[in-house]
Amino acid sequence: MKKLKEYIRSIPDFPEQGIIFRDITSMLQDADGLALAVNKLRDEVKDLDYDIIVGPESRGFIFGVPLAYAEHKPFIPIRKKGKLPCETISVEYDLEYGKGILEIHKDAVSPGQRVVIVDDLIATGGTTQAMIKLIEQLGGVVVKLCFMIELKDLKGRDKLKGYSVSSLVSYEDD
């Protein structure tokens, strides 16, 4: 059986010169690759006491929803500003070139609920910090951060001290 990293395609100079883009679409296009990814995420949470899974638009949905389904847990979406239909709370965060705003429904997380955040990638950690702020503002407790890919040289994990962080595949300075 192939390893998870073998399902991820590396594309040089995308979206700009000098960047190596780690493409998960090749994993999604292969039934064995997708199953392996979801099963590995299940391994990360199997002994964990938690109530809900949260994932950001859009790739957090790709891995968070099948994990929630497999674990029989609710899935809560975090989206870009203006995409959720009910009352929301929001947080502004820094992007590489500017600012972004993330939102979550005000009633999505109840005080004391134990939350697992699932996303495809951790790079600088800014998006993850913003999600944590939203969850904690609603009274949720983040018990685990699960990422498919970690770009270690960008040191995003350093911004998440005090949280349990796991990544299934990591890349460093390549």
Segment 3-36, tens digit of pLDDT = 999 999 999 999 889 889 999 999 999 999 999 9
59 an active-site residue? yes
Q: Which of 22, 59, 79, 157 is catalytic?
A: 59
Q: Sign of torsion, CA 133 137 142 148?
A: negative
DSSP state for residue 49 in the 8-state scheme: -
Other Cβ atoms less than 10 A from the Cβ of 122: the count is 27
96 an active-site residue? yes
By C-alpha distance, which of 120, 16, 134 is closest to 67?
A: 120
Query: 């199953």: which residue's tokens?
Result: 35
For the chain, what is the domain count? Answer: 1
What was the pLDDT predicted at 174? 55
Mean pLDDT of the region 113-142: 97
Residue 38 lies in a domain: no
Mean pLDDT of the region 55-69: 96
What was the pLDDT predicted at 149? 97
Query: Which CATH number characterizes residue 121's domain?
Result: 3.40.50.2020
Q: Which of 22, 71, 87, 96 is catalytic?
A: 96
Residue 126 lies in a domain: yes
pTM strictly above 0.85:
yes
